[in-house]
Amino acid sequence: MSGVIIAVSDQPFVTATLFSDLIKIVENTSKGIAASSYDNTLGTPVLFQKQYFEHLLNLKGSEGAKKLLKLFKEDVAKVPFPLGRIDIDTKEDYANLINGSTH
């Protein structure tokens, strides 16, 4: 398998196990994309197999790869990641994380 995992640095609960789960689901299905599933959405971390590299390279401006998840939804495998909903964008978010009050 040739692919790339795209992750963002503001999701504190991303683990190596999650990356492994993305890889395993692609290896065990015929899907070309594996996306994390949380809060009724699909998002990062996400694995794109090689056939999607050109599409990734053709994204313009602030277009994110989420556009590809919608465009190729039939080729997306979902990996549950409930804690993916938590991201740290502000000092308040960080304080909430430290205090254990993530919503």
Residue ranges of domains in the chain: 3-98
**Domain 3-98, CATH class in plain words:** alpha beta
Q: What is the value of pTM for the model shown?
A: 0.88
The token pair at 1 is 């398998």
- Contact of 33 with 77, CB cutoff 8 Å: yes
pLDDT at 89: 87
pLDDT beneath 50, residues of the chain: none
List Cβ neighbours of 101 (8 Å cut-off, separation of 6 or more).
none
